[in-house]
Structure formats: structure tokens, C-alpha cells
Amino acid sequence: MQTTVLVEGESDKVAVETLAAKLGHDLAAEGVTVVPMGGATSIIHFLDRYGPSGADHRLLGLCDAGESPGIARALSRAGIGPGTLAELGFHVCHEDLEDELIRALGTENVLNVIEEQGELASFRLLQRQPSLRDRPVTDQLRRFFGGRSGNKVRYARLLVEALPDGEAPLPLGLLVASFAAGN
């Protein structure tokens, strides 16, 4: 059976593939392809291309909470359903995947990852910016990851690799577990 996993962006793809590899999945051998859509609003194009799940194909996904109503509407319009997004194989991140990874690791561990990359001073500078200085550290971290070209993709891999065994964020963990479970 072939499985197509629709994700919002390249960093989501890297996180899914990294966790899958960490858990011993060989995505190519298992017939799993992770496809970044370039944003959740592109889902209709990808539903037209990959269609609903069938006898020889599964369609799964990962999205941010803010995008979940649009994803649900697109799935319904494509004739996929009924059911909740999770029942349809689409898992929802609370804010976004970075938020999920930060909460799963804890801010101190995330700061350790940033320090290991030699970028803690850069993060501390960002924290002093007027628009961010009064914001929670989790917001500052999310801004740090999204603020420099390539950071989201690079840190997606690093943060997933830093996760203790069995401590993946729930939406990401459930998605990857569904590869083996055939759900």
C-alpha cells in the first residue's frame, strides 16, 4: 500500500522523516511519501492530485490548529469523511509543529540545542528586540526558528533528534505510528 502524507511545509516534512527514521521506519520501503504543500491553503490542489484513501493508497496529514478548519472543509468537499481530522488520518498541532517540539523538549533543552549550534548569542539578541522582549520564551523561540532562512528546516531535524525516546509530540508521534499500524 502506498501512503501519501500531506504536510504544510518543508520543516514539517523534515520532522516527520526524522522521527520516522529515529523510530526505525524506512519510508521508501514502506511506500510512504511525505509531501510539503507549501502552505495548508494548497490542500485542494494536493487532494486533486492524490485523492482520497482507497484499497491501495492511504492519505494522511499534519497541520496547524489554525489551519484545521480549512483542511476539514477541503477534505469534506473532496468526499473524504465523515469523521474528525484525526479519524481521517490528519493530525493537528496545537499552534504549529515548532510549538509542539518546544513543549515536548522543554525550553531549557531547546536552548541547549541552540547553544550546541553556536547560536545562543543570536537568540539572546533576538530576545532583546522591543517587539519580543515581553513575549513568552516559547514565542521568542518560534520567532527565532522562523526568522532566518533555513532555520525552521534545520531545527526541525535537530529538535526531533533531541527528543528522548517515546517523547514525541502527540500529533507527530501519532502520525508516524500510523505508518506501521496501517491506520
CA atoms of 42 and 39, how far apart (whole Å):
6
- Tell me the CATH number for domain 2-95+165-181: 3.40.50
In degrees rounded to 5, what are phi and psi of residue 36? Answer: -75, 130
Helices (H) and strands (E) in the chain, counts: 10, 4
> Domain segments of the chain: what residues?
2-95+165-181, 98-162
pLDDT band, residue 182 (cuts 50/70/90): low
CA atoms of 152 and 174, how far apart (whole Å):
21
User: With the C-alpha atoms ordered 87, 67, 62, 144, is the resulting torsion angle positive or negative?
Assistant: negative
Give the CA angle between residues 53, 77, 83 to the nearest 5°.
Answer: 60
Q: Which three cell numbers stand for residue 33?
A: 511519501
Q: Report the mean per-residue pLDDT for the chain.
A: 93
Residue-wise pLDDT tens digits, 2-52 = 999 999 999 999 999 999 999 999 999 999 999 999 999 899 999 988 876
- 135 CB-near residues (< 8 Å, 6+ apart): 143
CA atoms of 39 and 7, how far apart (whole Å):
8
Q: Which carries the bigger pLDDT value, residue 132 or residue 80?
A: 132
Q: Which three cell numbers stand for residue 45?
A: 490542489
pLDDT over threshold 70, residue 53: no
- How many other C-beta atoms are found inside a 10 Å radius of the C-beta of residue 124? 12
